[in-house]
Amino acid sequence: MAQINNLQSSKMYMSRVLSNLKPYYIYERARIIGFLLLFLLAFPVTLVITLITLVIHCVTRKPSIVNPNAKRILISGGGMTKALQLVRSLYMAGHYIVLTEEYPFTTHRFSRCISRFYVCAFTKTNHSDYIQSIVDIVQRERIDIFIPASHSWCECADSLVKEALLPLNCVTVQGDLKDLEMLSNKYEFCTRARSLGLSVPKTYKITDPKQVLEFDFSKEKCQFILKCIADDIVTRWSLTKLPCQTKQQTIDYLNTLTISKTNPWIMQEFIPGKEYCTHGTVHNGELRLYACCESSPWLLHYKHVDNKPLILQWVQDFCLRTNISGQASFDFIESYEDGRPYAIECNPRTHTAIVAFYNHSGVAETYVDTKHLLHGPIQPYSNTRECYWLHHELWDLLNVRHMEDFLRILRRLFNGKEAIYSVEDPLPFFLHYTLHMPYVLICHLLNPTPFTKVDCNLSLIL
Stretch that binds ligand NAG, among 303-311, 377-385, 401-409, 420-428 (CB under 6 A): 377-385
- Stretch in the footprint of ligand NAG (CB under 6 A) among 15-23, 242-250, 298-306, 309-317: 298-306
HSE (side-chain half, CA atoms, 13 Å) at 74:
31
Q: Which stretch binds ligand NAG (CB under 6 A): 16-24, 156-164, 368-376, 451-459?
A: 451-459
**146: helix, strand or coil:** strand
Piece of 108-116, 123-131, 167-175, 204-212 that binds ligand NAG (CB under 6 A): 123-131
- Could you say which DSSP state residue 44 is in? H
Choose between 253 and 392: whose C-beta lies nearer to ligand NAG.
392
Burial class (CB in 10 A: 0-12, 13-18, 19+), 374: exposed
Query: Phi/psi of residue 281, each to 5°?
Result: -115, 125
Report the residue from 20, 323, 415, 449 that binds ligand NAG according to the rule CB under 6 A.
323
Nearer to ligand NAG, 346 or 368 (CB): 346
At 436, is the secondary structure helix, strand, or coil?
helix
Q: For helices 177-184 and 155-165, what crossing angle results, to 10°?
A: 170
Query: 5, 69, 307, 383: which one contacts ligand NAG (CB under 6 A)?
Result: 383
For position 381 contacting ligand NAG by CB under 6 A, the verdict is: yes
Among 128, 169, 195, 370, binds ligand NAG (CB under 6 A): 128
In the complex, the smallest distance separating the C-beta of residue 380 from ligand NAG, rounded to whole angstroms, is 8
Sort strands 96-101 and 116-119 into parallel, antiparallel or unpaired. parallel
43 HSE (CA, 13 A, CB side): 11
Which of 14, 222, 244, 458 binds ligand NAG (CB under 6 A)? It is 458
Element (H or E) spanning 341, and its range? strand 341-347
Applying CB under 6 A, does 298 fall inside the site for ligand NAG?
yes
The verdict on 455 binding ligand NAG (CB under 6 A) reads yes
CB nearest ligand NAG: which residue? Answer: 352
Residue 457 binding ligand NAG, by CB under 6 A: yes
| Binding residue count for ligand NAG, defined by CB under 6 A | 20
Site for ligand NAG in 66-85 (CB under 6 A): 82
CA 440 to chain centre: 18
Closest-CA residue to 75 (of 385, 327, 426, 358): 327
Contacting residue, 288, 351, 412, 444, with ligand NAG by CB under 6 A: 351
Give least dist CB 292 to ligand NAG, A.
14
Cα angle for residues 401, 406, 411 (degrees, 5° grid): 160
352 binds ligand NAG (CB under 6 A): yes
CA distance 109 to 61: 20
Contact 362, 92 (CB under 8 A): no
Beta-strand relationship, 145-147 and 171-172: parallel
Beta carbon of residue 250, minimum distance to ligand NAG (angstroms, whole number): 28
Cβ proximity to ligand NAG: between 192 and 351 the closer is: 351
Helices (H), 326-402: 363-368, 390-398
Binding mask 246-285 for ligand NAG (x = CB under 6 A): --------------------------------------xx
Under rule CB under 6 A, residue 359 binds ligand NAG:
yes
Distance separating alpha carbons of residues 445 and 139, to the nearest angstrom: 38
- Give φ, ψ of 265 to 5 degrees: -120, 170
Bridge pairing between strands 265-270 and 223-228: antiparallel
Q: Does 299 bind ligand NAG (CB under 6 A)?
A: yes
Report the interface residues with ligand NAG, using CB under 6 A: 82, 126, 128-129, 284-285, 298-300, 323, 351-352, 359, 381, 383-385, 455, 457-458
